[in-house]
Amino acid sequence: MSGIGIRKDDFVVVNSGKERGKKGKILKVLLDKNRVIVEKVNFVKKHSKPQSESKQGGIIEKEGTVHLSNVMLFCEKCGKGVRVRNKYLEDGSKVRLCAGCGESFD
Ligand SMILES: [Zn+2]
């Protein structure tokens, strides 16, 4: 599943699992794990230890990771998650296009 082409700040939609249909921005890409962190998706509760006498510990909610195969780039024009097509420009740079409508993501 390499070359999926998802980067930080991309807008994606979750296409499987309990978070299916949720949309959000990519906060972080964990390339070595093939996982991403998506804003406001897959919240997990974590216990935090008290940092000091004045700071209380407790439960904090934080985004957990989502496997890359569970997210797709969201195309505004198509209104759904889409596959990406790579296109190489004359100067050798690569742009990502929506496989559905051809809109550029870059
Ligand atoms: Zn599209």
- CA of 73 from ligand 1 middle (Å) equals 9
The yes-or-no verdict on residue 103 having pLDDT over 70 is yes
The secondary structure of the chain, three-state, reads CCCCCCCCCCEEEECCCCCCCCEEEEEEEEHHHCEEEECCCCEEEEEECCCCCCCCCEEEEEECEEEHHHEEEEECCCCEEECEEEEECCCCCEEEEECCCCCECC
pLDDT digit string (tens) for 17-63? Answer: 889 999 999 999 999 999 999 999 999 888 888 877 777 788 888 99
Please check the confidence at residue 83 and state whether its pLDDT lies above 60: yes
64 Cα to the center of ligand 1, angstroms: 28
Q: Does the pLDDT of residue 90 top 60, yes or no?
A: yes
**For residue 46, how far is its CA from the centre of ligand 1 (angstroms)?**
37
**Amino acid of residue 4:** I
Residues lying with their CB under 5 A of ligand 1, a single-atom ion: 75, 77-78, 98, 100-101, 103
Residue boundaries of the structural domains of the chain: 11-49+58-98
Domain covering 11-49+58-98: architecture: Roll (2.30)
User: pTM for this one?
Assistant: 0.82
